[in-house]
């Protein structure tokens, strides 16, 4: 008989190892309705996750491993950085605290522009590395997008270095794009596309 049984589609539950509300919103938009993100608070993890590695890969793994070891929930962590070629790859793994431990977006951007003041080459790339730990198995996924650093802030959306980064092929900064627009082309979107494909 029709209507007697209801097919319940179970979403894949994953904990995203971050305390950054902007990232959580951005990644949920990328992942769509097939996945349900669990917050760190829901796992009982209240402490700051460790980030003492000297590469994006190391930091991503460290955060995911810490959460998995303490909560035993399937989880993933990302670490992202802006790599500016004229600055030898800086700020890179230090992107979040480039201007100091206060982790101020404004201070970081101001220092970046100051360090680039006499540079002709303004090319850069955003890069993300995701570490997924699922039932103890570890996999990593990388995504990147190249672009240019402009010398003035434009846009009020996004966070971090978004107001000064114009991706190649575009005329607007990440901070001038909607969440949906950025979510189609960003470094995180590309890394998470690989994650979603892997999860199948």
Active site residues: 79
Extract the tokens encoding 167: 């991706």
Report d(CA 133, CA 142) in Å as an integer: 15
DSSP string, 56-106: HHHHHHHHHHHHHHHH---EEEEEEEEEEGGGTT-BGGGGGGTT-TT--HH
Report the distance separating Cα 63 and Cα 58, nearest Å: 9
**CB-based contacts of 19, cutoff 8 Å, min separation 6:** 40, 48, 49
φ/ψ of 131, rounded to 5, equals -115, 120
Contacts by 94-103 with C-beta closer than 8 Å and gap 24+?
95/160, 95/161, 96/160
CB 161 within 8 A of CB 92: no
């Amino acid at each position: 008989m029709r209507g007697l049984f209801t097919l319940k589609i179970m979403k894949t539950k994953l904990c995203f190892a971050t305390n950054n509300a902007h990232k959580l919103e951005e990644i949920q938009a990328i992942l769509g309705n097939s996945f349900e993100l669990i917050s760190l608070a829901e796992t009982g993890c209240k402490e700051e996750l460790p980030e003492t590695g000297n590469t994006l890969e190391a930091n991503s793994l460290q955060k995911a491993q810490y959460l998995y070891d303490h909560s035993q929930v399937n989880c993933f962590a990302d670490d992202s950085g802006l790599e500016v070629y004229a600055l030898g790859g800086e700020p890179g793994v230090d992107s979040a605290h480039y201007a100091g431990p206060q982790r101020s977006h404004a201070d970081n951007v101001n220092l970046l522009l100051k360090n680039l003041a006499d540079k002709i080459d303004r090319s850069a790339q955003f890069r993300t590395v995701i570490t997924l730990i699922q039932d103890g198995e570890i996999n990593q996924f990388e995504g990147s997008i190249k672009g240019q650093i402009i010398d003035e802030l434009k846009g009020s959306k996004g966070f971090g270095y978004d107001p000064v980064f114009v991706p190649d092929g575009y005329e607007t900064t990440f901070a001038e794009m909607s969440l949906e627009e950025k979510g189609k082309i960003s470094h995180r979107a590309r890394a998470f596309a690989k994650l979603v494909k892997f999860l199948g």
